[in-house]
Homo-oligomer: A and B are copies of this chain.
Amino acid sequence: MTLSARNRLQGTIASIETDGLTAEVTIELGDGQHVTSVITANSVDRLELEEGMEASAVIKATEVMIDA
C-alpha cells in the first residue's frame, strides 16, 4: 500500500446500486459490519466492481469521527 490514507478495511462487496452519475457500494467486513460508499458510476465501471468481489473501503483519517 503506497497511499497515505490510514484506513483500509478489507471485505467483500455485498451490494452495488447505480443511478445516473452516482453509485452506492456496500462492503461487508469480517465481523459482519457494513461500510457504505458513495462513488461515481464511472468508477464502478472502471474498476469492474461486482457483488461478491473482495474489496477494501479506503478512508482518510481526517474523515472519521468518533462517537462515544
Binding site for B on A (CB under 8 A): 2-10, 13, 17, 19-25, 27, 29-40, 42-44, 47, 49, 53-68
Contact = CB atoms under 8 A, between A and B. Distances in A.
Given A25-B66, A37-B64, A60-B65, 14 more contacts: A2-B67, A4-B37, A5-B43, A6-B40, A6-B42, A7-B35, A19-B21, A22-B22, A27-B66, A38-B40, A39-B66, A58-B64, A60-B62, A63-B63
Contacts of A49: 66, 68
Contact of A68 (B2, B65, B67): B2
B65 A39 contact: yes
Contacts of A37: 4, 61, 64-66
